[in-house]
Amino acid sequence: MSTSALVADAVSSFKANGRIVIVGASLAGLRAAEALRDEGFAGKLTLIGDEKREPYDRPPLSKQVLKGWVPADHTMLPRSREIDAEWHLGIAATGLDRKTKNVRLANGDLIPYDRLLIATGVRSRPWFNKEEAKLKGLFTIRTSDDAEALQKALAAKPKRVLIIGAGFIGSEMASVCRELKLEVTVAERADAPLIGALGGVIGKIAAEMQRDHGVDLRTGVSVEKLEGDAARHVRRAKLSDGTTLDVDVVVASLGSLRNVEWLEGAGLATGFWGVGCDAGCRAFDINGVVTDSIFVAGDIARAPHVLYEYQFMSAEHWDNAVIGARVAAHNMVSLEPDRRPHLLVPQFWSGQFGVNIKGTGVQSFGDEVVITQGSVKERRFAAAYGKRGRIVGAVTFNHGKWLEYYTALIEKSAPFPPPSPGYDVPTDTKPVPAEFPDVRAPTELPTVVLTGHDPTDRGAAFAPARRR
Amino acid sequence: MRIVFDLNRCLGYAQCIPLAPDVLKLNGEEAVMYDPNPDDSQRQGVLRAAASCPVQAIMVDFADNGKETKS
Amino acid sequence: MADMTPEAAWAAAMAYKNRPNPYPFFDELRKTPVVHVGGGLYVVTGYRELLALAHDPRISSDTRRLKARRDGVEGNVSEYGEHGTMINSDPPEHDRMRRQAMRHFGPPDSPYVIADMEPLIQKLCNDSLDKIKASGKRRFDVVDDYGYPVPVAVICKLLGVPMEDEPKFHVWVHDFMAGIMDVGPDMNTEEGKARHERGVTSAEAFANYTAGLIQGYLKKPTDCMFSKLVNEDGPDGPMSVREANINANLLLIAGHDSTVNTISNCVMCMLRTPGCLELLKSRPDLIPGAIEEALRMQASVQFFPSRSATHDIEIGGTVIPKGSPVHLMYGAANRDPLRFPNPNTFDPARQDNQHFGWGSGIHTCFGGPLARLEVNIAFETFLRRVENPRLVCDPPPYRQSNVFRGPEHLLIDVDGIRN
C-alpha cells in the first residue's frame, strides 16, 4: 500500500472508530465538539467540564448580567448542530496519564482517549490574602455563579463598590456600576487603566473616560488590606496611597490563572502561561517534542504566531477559542498534509462608558502609537501601533467599521505609520512612544501576551508583582 | 431561544436592533448588548435580525432556526 | 462570449438593452476585479476588493472631489446639492449628519420607532391586496399595485410628507431616477441628454419642495422626522436648515424607491425558482434569509457613483491613481464565484450570505431596518394571501436607471386573493 493510501486509511478508520475526549466544556470545548462532527468524526466523543452548567457564554456576565437585565443562568450558548457526546458536567479532571491514555476525574473515574483536547481555560486570580479572601462581599468574576452573586450584591445598592484592577473586565464592571448609579472606586497599580493591553497613551484616554463618568479612579495605587465587620462582611479597604475607604462590595479583577494544575506530572509543556502547542494546536511535551494525540485550544493554549516573530502567544480572546477549537478539531482528525495552522490576528472588543473599544493585532508588540482617524476628544477614533516601522496592532474607539482596514495592514506587515486617510485627519498625526509598562512592572495581566520562544514556558519571563 | 453575537465580527451597523428591540440594545453608538436566551415569543424578530446582519455576526441555535437537524 | 475590453464590457453592462441581465458583462469585467473602463473611471466587481475599498479611509464619498474633475467623468450626482448629504459626504460631517438623523429614527436614542410601524405596514399591505381583490382582477402589477403603495405611504408617515403630494413628487422622482441616476454611454445620446435635462429640472423642483416642507416644520413643529430633524436638540444639535433641506430630499427618495425594487425582486426571484414558493410557504422562518438572497442576486442599488480615491491605492493587481472616480459595483460583486458558490442560483436558505445589497462600510443603508421590516411583512403577506402567482412576462420591462435598478412593472397572474 502506498503511504498516502495508508494515511487515508488511518484517517478514515480513526474518524469511524476513534475515541476523542475534550476536557473543558465551555466555548472552546463546545465548538470543537461541533467541528469534530462536521469533519465527519463518528467515533465516541466525551466532554468533561468542572462546571455543572451546559456551555454558556461568559462576556455577557460582566455587562448585561451584572446590570441586572439578564439572569446569570441566561447565557446558554447556541449550537450549530447535534453533537451526540457523553457529557460529564460538574466533575473536574484531576490528572492525565499519557502512558495509558486516560483522563482521571475527581470521582476516581478513568476516561480513556485516543486523542485528547485540552480546553480547560482559566480561572480568576483570587485575592492574595487567604483570610481576607473569605470575607463576604468580596468577589471575583469568571463563572455564572460569580456573576449571579455579584449581580445580587450590586442590586442591593451598596454604598460604595471597590474594583481592584482596571483591565477590560474591571473597567466594564466600573461602567456598569455607574450605569446603576453606584459610587465606585477603581484601584489600579499601574499608571492607567488598560495600560498592559493598550499602553499609556491610550490608557490616559481610558482614565479620562472613567473620570468623566464619575468613577473614583486611583492609579498607581494598590489595595493593601481588606477589613470586615463582625459578620465577616467586607467593610473597609486600606489603599497604598494612605487612604481608607468604606466599601460594601469589592471585586478583585486581577487577571487569570491558567487551569494547568490537573496536568501536573503528565510531562507536557505547561506553565504559568498555559500549555505550549504548535501552530496546529498539538501540545508540546516538557522537552519541546510535539505530541501526536494531545491538542490544545482556547484561553489555555499558547502557540507560535508567524506575525509576531513566532513568539508563543497566549490570548484570552473569544475568537481565539472559537477558531482555535475549529482548527484543533480539524487537525485531530487529519494527518499531514491536511493539517491547518491556527493563525489568527488577535481581536478583542470591550463595551465601557458608552464606548465600543475594539482591537486588532498585538498592540503591546509595538513601541509607537499614532492616532490615525477621528477625534480623541469625542472618543471616536482609530489608532495604530508600530514596531520598527511596521504596523503590528490597532485600536478603535466607537470607530469599529474602520478596524478591518488596519487588520489587513497588519496581516501584510505594512509600513508604519499607515498612509493618512482622505478625511477626518486628526490634528496631531505624529507617532509617539506607546508607553507600555516594563514587563516586570506590576500591572493587570493583559489578555494577549507574547511569551517568548521557549515552547516549554520555563523561560517565560514574568515576575509576580511585589507589593509595596 | 439561544443566540450569541460574534462581537469581533460586529462592527456596530445596528441593522439588527430595530427588528428585535426588546432583545437587542445599543449601548452608546456602537456596542450591542443583547439577551442571549430570549423568550420564544421573540422568534420572528430575532430571525429577522439575524438575517439582517451584513457581517452575519448573530448565531441562532439550530433548533430555533427550524432547520433540519444535522446529525 | 469572446473576450471584451473593459470599456466594452462596462458599456454593455450599463446599456439599457441589457438592463434585465447585465451579469454576464459583470462576469467579463470581473476578470480584472479592479479595472479602468475609460475616462479615468475605475470599477470594482470583485467581492474581496470591494470589501477592502468600502472600509478604506482613502476612498472618499464626497462628490465635490468629482466636480473638480471635468474630463469624461460620470459625475451626475452633483445634483444632490452643493454641500453634501449623508450619502455623498465624508467623516466627520457624514458621521455627524448620520447621528443627527438616526437620533429620531433608530438606536440608541429611538430604538422602537421602526418596530412601532409594524401595524401600519401590515395594514397597508392588506389594504393593497384587498383593493386588488375587490377589483376582481386576476392579473396585477406587483410594482404599481403592491410594491409601490406600501413603502411610499410608510415613508410619508414617518417623515411627515403629505400623501396628497405623492402624484407630484412621484413624477419628480421618476425623472430624477431616469435622467440622473443612469450612467454610461446611453447618457451621451440625444435621448440621454434630454432625459438628463428633464432630470435636472425635476430634481430642482423636488429640492424646492422638500425645502418647503422643512420651512413649514420650522414654523409649526410636529411629531414627524422632518420636524424633529430641525427642531429637536441633542449632543450634535439640531441639523442646520441647509443640511436638513438636502438630507430630507435624500431620505424621501432613498426611503421608498429601492424598497419598491426589493419587493418586486423578491417576488420575481421566488417565482423564477421552481419549488421556491412552496418552500417559503411551508418554512416562513426562511423568509428573512430569502429577502437577503434576493438582494444578493438583484441588488436594488447596484452601485452609487459618488466615490473617488484620495491617494494612489494599490489593490487587485492594479493601482488606482489619486483622484480617480471609483464605482463599487455591489450587484456585480454579489455574484463573485470566489465568494459565493453557485453565485447565479437563488438559494433562499443560503448560509454565510454577507452580501453588498445594502452597501458596505460607514455608508451602509441608513434605512435598512425599516426597509427590511417593510419587505418582510410585504413578502409574508403576499405569500399568505396571493393564490398561485405566476410571472406573466420574464424578463419584465425594466426601469431606466442602472443605479437604482428594478422592474418597471412585474405582472403576475393569480387564482385569487385570500382574506
Q: Is residue C160 part of a domain?
A: yes
Neighbours of chain A (3+ CB pairs under 8 A): B, C
How far from C316 is each of A285, A401, A449, C56, CA to CA, in Å?
A: 44, 21, 34, 14
Whether A3-60+75-123+257-332 shares its CATH topology with A132-254 is answered yes
In the stretch 193-252 of chain C, residues with CB closer than 8 A to chain B read none
A410-433 core/surface letters (b: 16 or more CB in 10 A; e: else): beeebebbbbbbbbbebeeeebee
Domain that holds residue C99: 6-417
How far apart are the CA of A412 and the nearest CA of chain C, in angstroms?
A: 13
Residue C78 carries which DSSP code?
G
Could you read off the pLDDT tens digit of each residue along chain C, which spans 419 residues?
578 999 999 999 999 999 999 999 999 999 999 999 998 999 999 999 999 999 999 999 998 888 665 443 444 444 444 568 999 999 999 999 999 999 999 999 999 999 999 999 999 999 999 999 999 999 999 999 999 999 999 999 999 999 999 999 999 999 999 998 998 888 889 999 999 999 999 999 999 999 999 999 999 999 999 999 999 999 999 999 999 999 999 999 999 999 999 999 999 999 999 999 999 999 999 999 999 999 999 999 999 999 999 999 999 999 999 999 999 999 999 999 999 999 999 999 999 999 999 999 999 999 999 999 999 999 999 999 999 999 999 999 999 999 999 999 999 999 999 99
Contact C107/B21, CB-based, under 8 Å? yes
Amino acid at C136: G
CA distance A135 to C3: 78
pLDDT tens-digit series, residues A19-50: 999 999 999 999 999 999 999 999 999 999 99
Which residue of chain B comes nearest to C365, CA vs CA? B15
Residues in chain C: 419
Which of A399, A407, A423, A429 to mutate: most C Cβ within 10 Å? Answer: A423
Q: Would you call A224 exposed, middle or buried from its count of C-beta atoms within 10 A (0-12, 13-18, 19+)?
A: middle
Question: Quick one: pLDDT at residue A130?
Answer: 94
As for how many domains chain B has, the answer is 1
In order, the DSSP letters of A137-151 are: TEE--SSHHHHHHHH
Task: Tell me how far apart the alpha carbons of residues A42 and A38 are, in angstroms, rounded to a whole number.
Answer: 10
Q: Which residue has the cell 465624508?
A: C90
In a domain, C84, yes or no: yes
Strand partners, A86: A46
Instruction: Report ipTM (2 d.p.).
Output: 0.94
Grid cell for residue C168: 407630484
Instruction: Check which CATH number belongs to the domain holding B29 and give it.
Output: 3.30.70.20
Compare CB distances from C56 to A372, A375, A405 and report the shortest one's residue: A405
By C-alpha distance, the chain B residue nearest C106 is: B18
> Which phi and psi (to 5°) does residue C411 adopt?
-80, 135
Phi, psi of A252 (to 5 degrees): -90, 105
The residue extents of the domains of chain A are 3-60+75-123+257-332, 132-254, 359-433
On whether the CB atoms of residues C55 and C354 are closer than 8 A, the answer is no
CA pair distance A341, A138, nearest whole angstrom: 42
The three cell numbers locating residue C326: 471609483
C292 touches chain B (CB under 8 A): yes
Phi (first) and psi of residue A234, to 5 degrees: -60, 135
Cβ contacts of A81 on chain B, cutoff 8 Å: 62, 69-71
The Cα of B15 is separated from the nearest Cα of chain A by a number of Å equal to: 14
Question: A111 with A44: CB under 8 angstroms?
Answer: no
Q: Given an 8 Å threshold on Cβ–Cβ distance, is C106 in contact with B14?
A: yes
Q: Residue B34 sits in which domain range?
A: 3-65
Q: Quick one: which of A125, A27, A22 has its CA closest to A75?
A: A27
CA angle C205, C209, C212 (to 5 degrees): 140
- CA dist A388 and C208 (Å) reads 56
The answer to whether residues C308 and C65 touch, using CB atoms and an 8 Å cutoff, is: yes
Contact call for residues A37 and A83 (beta carbons, < 8 A):
yes
**Taking CB atoms and an 8 Å cutoff, what residues of chain B touch C291?**
51
The phi-psi region of residue C228 (left if phi > 0; otherwise alpha if psi is between -120 and 50; otherwise beta) is alpha
Bridge-based pairing of strands C326-328 and C34-36 is unpaired
Cα separation of C295 and C290, whole Å? 9
In a domain, C236, yes or no: yes
Q: Give the rounded percent of residues in chain C with a pLDDT score beyond 90.
A: 91
The listed CATH number (3.30.9.10, 3.90.110.10, 3.30.390.30, 3.40.50.150) that belongs to domain A359-433: 3.30.390.30
Residues constituting chain B: 71
Residue B71 lies in a domain: no
Contact A22, A113 (CB under 8 A): no
Relative to beta strand A311-315, strand A301-305 is: antiparallel
Confirm whether C1 is domain-assigned: no
Q: Report, at the CATH architecture level, how domain A132-254 is classified.
A: 3-Layer(bba) Sandwich (3.50)
- Using an 8 Å CB-CB cutoff, list chain B residues near A356: 12, 27-31
Q: Cα(A184)–Cα(A253) distance, rounded to whole angstroms?
A: 14
Tens-digit pLDDT profile for residues C255-298:
999 999 999 999 999 999 999 999 999 999 999 999 999 999 99
The label of the residue with cell 466599601 reads A247
Please say whether the beta carbons of A187 and A275 come within 8 A.
no
Q: How many independent structural domains does chain C possess?
A: 1
Q: Do B30 and A79 touch (CB under 8 A)?
A: no
Residue B70, in any domain of the structure: no
What chain C residue is nearest to A404 in terms of C-alpha separation? C55
Angstrom distances, CA of residue C371 to CA of A108, A407, C34, C157: 59, 31, 30, 14
Give the three-class secondary structure for A440. coil
Question: What's the pLDDT at C80?
Answer: 44
Specify if B42 maps to a domain.
yes
* Residues in CB range of A242: below 8 A, 6 or more apart: none
- SS3 of A223, please? strand
Grouping H, G, I as helix, E, B as strand and the rest as coil, residue C320 is strand
Q: Which CATH architecture does the domain made up of A3-60+75-123+257-332 adopt?
A: 3-Layer(bba) Sandwich (3.50)
- Cβ neighbours, 10 Å, residue C69: 15
Cell of A427: 490634528
Q: How far apart are CA A140 and CA C81, in angstroms?
A: 57
**Which residues of chain A are modeled with pLDDT < 50?**
459-468
Contact B11 A398 (CB under 8 A): no
Q: Which of A355, A380, A381, A405 to mutate to test the interface with C (most CBs of C within 10 A)?
A: A405
CB distance A273 to A312 below 8 Å: yes
Rounded to 5 degrees, what are φ and ψ at A86?
-95, 125
H or E segment at C140? strand C139-141
The reply to whether residue C57 touches residue A374, judged by beta carbons under 8 angstroms, is no
Residue numbers of A between 63 and 82 with CB closer than 8 Å to B: 63-64, 69-70, 74-82
CB distance from A155 to chain B under 8 Å?
no
Cβ-based burial of A100 (10 A; exposed 0-12, middle 13-18, buried ≥19): exposed
Residue A373 DSSP one-character state = E
**End-to-end Cα spacing for chain A:** 68
Distances (CA, A) of C366 to A13, A273, C87: 53, 45, 9
**In one letter, which amino acid is C414?**
V
Cβ of B59 and A348 within 8 Å? no
